[in-house]
């Protein structure tokens, strides 16, 4: 993989571009993709944004979200495949392995386009990309898109649409500027977006105050009935059966952020959520301090991510996955039972 700076001179020549992101995109995946979309549009590239799956409705306010193709919608698939096959460049944003694009993986591998990675996850598949930047010290892929625009000499192209998308990704991936990864550069970036007229509180409202009554009741039920705390391991586990998702009419995105709740309990170092989505059991991990959930997710649950935030999945039943988790937790007793920040 060559440095991303190698493509800066080529940005002048209009190209056919596809931008894609990980399945069930979060605000960083969608924000970085649409931030880049608005930038490349201004340079007259022909840009198609494709998501491997659907996304949360609280992302639909993002400028350009209505143009994003959901690869799983049967009537849009042919158009998406045509764009992938005919592309000069395919930007892969906010994921480290192509398997994160689910059924898009094969067409992405087969396309003759140059693949370009911009991402901040650990252990990227760099051999699959012609150009790119992978930097685990960056708060978010959205921050990396901001850097890309600035470093390629196009600061003047950060319009309000781009700024809104970038802000959403940076803000959510830093836990509203709370996580240790929130650097001075992040605060300077935000100051720059503010100086360009960004209305940040509107974006917080769109992302956090846009849910259904059902979702709030669902969270009440989860915290009351689905939370287990293992104090001797400084660990908390939430496991959600599919029947809860049906009962409360839970949609994509409604469970996002839930994994963080147990971290507000004093002393909790590892929080895990296991959700029975029917087709698979999806796991999310969050940790504080030195417990590396990227390694934990890779080792036990075919996943990965960052040191303090990662995910995985399993084909086994919910009860079996809960049991697997408890075994894995016990195997990590030494690390989990000592609490040090």
**With respect to ligand 5GP, which residue has the nearer C-beta, 234 or 313?**
313
Nearest to 118 by CA among 157, 146, 80: 146
Using the minimum distance from each CB to ligand 5GP, give the nearer residue, 125 or 214.
125
d(CA 272, CA 259): 6
Is residue 151 within 8 Å of residue 144, measured between CB atoms?
no
Shortest distance, CB of residue 195 to ligand 5GP, whole angstroms?
29
> Which positions from 141 through 180 interact with Mn ion, judged by CB under 5 A?
141, 173
Choosing from 41, 42, 57, 97, the residue that interacts with ligand 5GP (CB under 6 A) is 97
Q: Tell me how far the alpha carbon of residue 143 is from its chain's centroid.
A: 13
Binding flag, residue 22, ligand 5GP (CB under 6 A): yes
Comparing CB distances to ligand 5GP, the nearer of 92 and 310 is 310
Q: Contact between 311 and ligand 5GP (CB under 6 A)?
A: yes
Q: What's the min distance (Å) between Cβ of 88 and ligand 5GP?
A: 26
Contact track, Mn ion, 68-107, x by CB under 5 A: --------------------------x-------------
Q: How far is the CB of 85 from ligand 5GP (least distance, A)?
A: 26
For residue 267, give the DSSP letter.
T
Q: What mask, x for binding ligand 5GP by CB under 6 A, covers residues 118 to 157?
A: ---x------------------------------------
Tell me 261's DSSP state. Answer: G
Q: Which of residues 123-142 bind Mn ion (CB under 5 A)?
A: 140-141
- Two tokens at 164? 């809104």
Residues 178 and 187: their CA atoms lie apart, in Å, by 11
* Minimum distance from residue 329 beta carbon to Mn ion (Å): 26
Distance CA 46, CA 334 (A): 53
φ/ψ (deg, to 5) at 331: -65, -25
Alpha carbon 176 to its chain's center: 15
Q: Which residue is nearest to ligand 5GP (CB)?
A: 311
Binding to Mn ion by CB under 5 A, coded x per residue (else -) over 253-292, reads: ----------------------------------------
Nearer to Mn ion, 173 or 292 (CB): 173
Q: Which does 161 bind (CB under 5 to 8 A by kind): ligand 5GP, Mn ion, none?
A: none
DSSP-assigned states of every residue in 153-213: T-GGG--HHHHHHHHHHHHHHTTTTTSTT--HHHHHHHHHHHHTT--HHHHHHHHHS---H
Which DSSP category does 61 fall into? T
Q: Closest Cα to residue 237, out of 212, 266, 268? A: 268
Tokens of residue 294, six digits: 């990227």
Rounded to the nearest 10 degrees, how much is the dihedral formed by the CA atoms of 120, 121, 124, 130?
-20
Comparison of 198 and 310: residue with beta carbon closer to ligand 5GP: 310
Q: How far is the CB of 8 from ligand 5GP (least distance, A)?
A: 27
- Residues binding Mn ion (CB under 5 A): 28, 94, 140-141, 173
- Residues binding ligand 5GP (CB under 6 A): 22, 96-97, 100, 121, 284, 303-306, 309-313
């Amino acid at each position: 993989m060559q440095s991303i700076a190698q493509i800066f001179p080529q940005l002048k020549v209009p190209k056919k571009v596809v931008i894609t992101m990980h399945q069930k995109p979060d605000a960083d995946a969608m924000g970085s993709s649409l931030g880049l979309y608005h930038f490349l549009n201004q340079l007259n590239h022909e840009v198609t944004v494709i998501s491997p799956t659907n996304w949360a409705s609280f992302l639909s306010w993002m400028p350009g979200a209505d143009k994003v193709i959901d690869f799983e919608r049967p009537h849009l698939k042919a158009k998406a495949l045509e764009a992938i096959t005919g592309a000069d460049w395919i930007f892969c944003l906010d994921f480290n392995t192509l398997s994160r694009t689910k059924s898009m993986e094969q067409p992405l591998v087969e396309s003759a386009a140059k693949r370009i990675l911009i991402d901040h996850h650990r252990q990227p598949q760099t051999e699959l990309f012609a150009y790119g930047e992978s930097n685990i010290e960056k708060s978010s892929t959205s921050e990396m898109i901001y850097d890309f625009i600035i470093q390629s000499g196009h600061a003047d192209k950060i319009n309000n649409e781009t700024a809104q998308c970038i802000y959403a990704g940076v803000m959510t991936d830093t836990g509203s500027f709370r996580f240790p990864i929130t650097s001075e550069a992040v605060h300077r970036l935000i100051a720059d977006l503010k100086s360009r007229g960004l209305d940040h509180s509107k974006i917080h409202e769109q992302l956090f105050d846009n849910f259904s009554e059902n979702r709030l009741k669902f969270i009440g039920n989860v915290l009351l009935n689905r939370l287990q705390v293992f104090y001797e391991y400084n660990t908390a586990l939430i496991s959600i059966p599919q029947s809860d998702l049906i009962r409360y009419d839970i949609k994509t995105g409604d469970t996002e952020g839930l994994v963080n709740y147990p971290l507000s309990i004093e002393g909790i170092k590892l929080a895990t959520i296991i959700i029975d989505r029917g087709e698979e059991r999806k796991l999310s991990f969050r940790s504080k301090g030195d417990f590396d959930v990227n390694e934990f997710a890779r080792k036990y649950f075919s996943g990965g991510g960052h040191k303090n935030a990662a995910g995985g999945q399993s084909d086994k039943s919910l009860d079996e996955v809960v049991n697997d988790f408890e075994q894995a937790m016990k195997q990590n007793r030494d690390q989990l039972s000592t609490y040090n920040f």
